[in-house]
Chain A
Amino acid sequence: MHKGCSNIFHALTSCGLLQRIDMTEKLHEFVEKLRSENTAWVTKVIEGHGEVTVITSRESIVDACRSLKDKHGFDMLADLCGCDRGPEEDPRFEVNYHVFSTKHHNRLRLKVVLGEDDPHVPTVTQIWKTAEWHERETYDLVGVIFDGHPDLRRILLPSDFDGHALRKDYPLRGYEPYSLN
């Protein structure tokens, strides 16, 4: 029987399942710490594929990020990206913050969902400088406006570009042939 147990254990570790359970447990601890600090910061928690997503509101994103950085060691913003769910969805936009710790190497995703008529979210550039370009890119391609950003201009597309290319209602080939003149 003992042998059988160890076989199962080996099978689990070899396919990464145990490791994954360990990982999410650790992440849930961070979520609980966030919740104990302020219950309003955590609206909903989603778990999947060994990752934990914390859905938060736009009013609390800056405070939650600040707390994650200062108290829980998430010192790096690995990525920030926007996503358009489609014009028929409400809320339509989401902004994903992938925070990472260079000390304990855990990753957490914070998500803010935004309605189409008011796609504003406060900037996190005062917490991580790297957010500057990520937010510019998200503004450029998805059209989310980051309030308080020091230099919110288009970054990849030309400054006179019409529309936001990564929105679902923006056609793949654009509205008309674009020419640089």
Chain B
Amino acid sequence: MSVAVDNLTTSPEVLDSSLESQMTLSMGPQHPSTHGVLRLDLRLDGELVIKAIPDIGYLHTGMEKLFEYKKYQQGIVITDRMDYLNPLGNNLAYVMAAEKLLDLEIPDRAQVIRVLMCELQRIASHMVWLGTHALDIGAMSVFFYCFRQREKILNLIEAASGGRMTPSYFRIGGLMMDLPAGFERRCNQFMTDFPEAMSTFETLVTGNTIWMSRTKGVGYISAEDAIDWGLTGPCLRGSGVDLDLRRDNPYTGYETYDFDIPVEQDGDVWARFRVRMRECYESYKIVRQALDRLKPGPIKADAPKIVLPDRDDMRKHMDSLIHHFLIVAEGFNVPEGEVYMPIEASKGELGVYMKSNGGPKPERVHFRGPSFVNLSALPAMVEGEMIADVVAIIGSLDIVLGEIDR
């Protein structure tokens, strides 16, 4: 039986590094290449990494505790702040878990808009990944080109939801509101410009000799190890495992869209880079199809005791007014039960475990953040590599500390 060692922040074996040639280096938590507040305890032999121990928790805000004190609809705003580069994905996983417990049926238009927004968000998330990843490795200008594209997507999200980083656009039972007038025109404008931007990135990065020599053969992880470590998303597909929950555990009607799943066999930083770049094109394809499918229709489920009524209805119908008051003041009861709702977020499998005891507040909400699990595999990738490659490998994992620490 093991006894929990409580009073050490660093693992014992790192502390007694007595060998003459080895040294222990604490990288972070304010290191610019650790993408937030991540600290790595690196045990080095010269420039070679012998052992790496990630130390997380600097951004812990007790979100899972907070969920237990908030009503179901109130919890949505907390999810925005987890993976802040992919807030719509977090919204989707959370609301779908609650909808699964409630057995709600979501109208078609809402489903199409959810897919549309999530894929736009995925592109935006990949833009930040590409910009910061390239910046870590030393390519400065890519960052600005990427953020220009991301800015356009954030403008679209802002037009739809009113928020740029914290949209809270998806609600239990549908959407906050319908798309604004002119959204399709603006989205089409972005879609027209985007392929050219992608070709810019390919020219800047993909064919670049320095980029190739910094990424090829670095941070290798085999398919078996990747599954063993629980890697998901582009990190897993970079190791040659053909798994995408949009196809394998479909949700919100993804099974009706036509898209490919990019898989690379090499398992190194380059493979993960190629998977994400190719995913941008696939997301682009899905957005195109979703735009074509936008037909007028309801955007909220037919469940007056759960979904907030329209303002117009509240002025005309007394029961709408009563429902509005009750939903806001008391919330709604969710039947007893537990669900696990996995979705394919931009970084991998984002799973929400939600347990209800029948009241208006959840008993337990647990987020299985893809970044959390992907980061736990970091030691397996960096050990035996050079210290300069550590930043390249962290960049290729695409971690967000808001989700890791929660």
Say whether A78 contacts B351, CB under 8 Å: yes
Say whether A107 contacts B340, CB under 8 Å: yes
Say whether A77 contacts B230, CB under 8 Å: yes
Chain B: minimal CB distance from A75 (Å): 5
Say whether A159 contacts B7, CB under 8 Å: yes
B366 within 8 A of partner (CB): yes
B69 within 8 A of partner (CB): yes
A6, B119: Cα distance in complex, Å: 34
Residues 328-376 of B at the A interface (beta carbon under 8 Å): 337-340, 342, 349, 351, 353, 355, 363-364, 366, 368, 372-373, 376
Say whether A48 contacts B4, CB under 8 Å: no
Q: Mark B1-17, 1 if CB is under 8 A from A, else 0.
A: 11011111101000000
In the complex, which of the residues B228, B338, B355 contacts A130, with contact meaning CB atoms closer than 8 Å? B228
Residues of A within 8 A of B66 (CB): 172
Given A49-B101, A139-B4, A156-B405, are A96 and B11 also a contact pair (CB < 8 Å)? no
Residues of A within 8 A of B4 (CB): 139, 145, 152-153
Q: Mark A94-129, 1 if CB is under 8 A from B, else 0.
A: 001010101001010100000000001000000011
Q: Mark B259-282, 1 if CB is under 8 A from A, else 0.
A: 000000000000000000000000
Residues of B within 8 A of A85 (CB): 363
Q: Mark B38-74, 1 if CB is under 8 A from A, else 0.
A: 0000000000000000001100101011101100000
In the complex, which of the residues A102, A105, A120, A155 contacts B57, with contact meaning CB atoms closer than 8 Å? A155
Q: Which residue of B lies closest to A105 (CB)?
A: B248
Say whether A15 contacts B105, CB under 8 Å: yes
Residues of A within 8 A of B249 (CB): 105, 107
Residues of A within 8 A of B8 (CB): 153, 159
Interface centre among A109, A156, A170 (most CB of B within 10 A): A156
Say whether B368 contacts A78, CB under 8 Å: yes
Interface size bracket, A side: 35 or more
Q: Which residue of B lies closest to A53 (CB)?
A: B338
Residues 134-165 of A at the B interface (beta carbon under 8 Å): 134, 137, 139, 141, 145-160, 165
Residues of B within 8 A of A134 (CB): 373
Residues of A within 8 A of B355 (CB): 83
A53, B355: Cα distance in complex, Å: 13
Q: Which residue of A lies closest to B380 (CB)?
A: A129
A81 within 8 A of partner (CB): yes
Residues of A within 8 A of B68 (CB): 168
B397 within 8 A of partner (CB): no
Residues of A within 8 A of B368 (CB): 78-79, 81, 98
A27 within 8 A of partner (CB): no
Residues of B within 8 A of A30 (CB): none
Q: Which residue of B lies closest to A123 (CB)?
A: B2
Residues of B within 8 A of A128 (CB): 228, 230
Residues of A within 8 A of B64 (CB): 141, 166
B243 within 8 A of partner (CB): yes
Say whether A157 contacts B5, CB under 8 Å: no
B157 within 8 A of partner (CB): no
Say whether B339 contacts A154, CB under 8 Å: no
B227 within 8 A of partner (CB): yes
Residues of B within 8 A of A160 (CB): 6-7
Q: Which residue of B lies closest to A131 (CB)?
A: B230
A96, B229: Cα distance in complex, Å: 18
B100 within 8 A of partner (CB): yes
Chain A: minimal CB distance from B249 (Å): 6
Chain B: minimal CB distance from A126 (Å): 11
B35 within 8 A of partner (CB): no
Residues of B within 8 A of A65 (CB): none
B300 within 8 A of partner (CB): no
**A-B interface, 6 closest residue pairs, ranked by CB to CB distance from nearest:** A130-B230, A79-B368, A133-B376, A81-B366, A156-B57, A105-B248
Contacts beyond the supplied A78-B230, A109-B338: 11 A-B pairs with Cβ under 8 Å: A75-B228, A79-B368, A81-B353, A83-B366, A102-B227, A107-B249, A128-B228, A139-B4, A155-B56, A156-B60, A158-B9
A-B contact pairs, 16 of them (CB 8 A): A48-B338, A48-B339, A50-B100, A76-B227, A78-B230, A79-B353, A84-B364, A105-B248, A109-B338, A129-B228, A134-B373, A146-B2, A148-B2, A154-B57, A159-B9, A166-B364
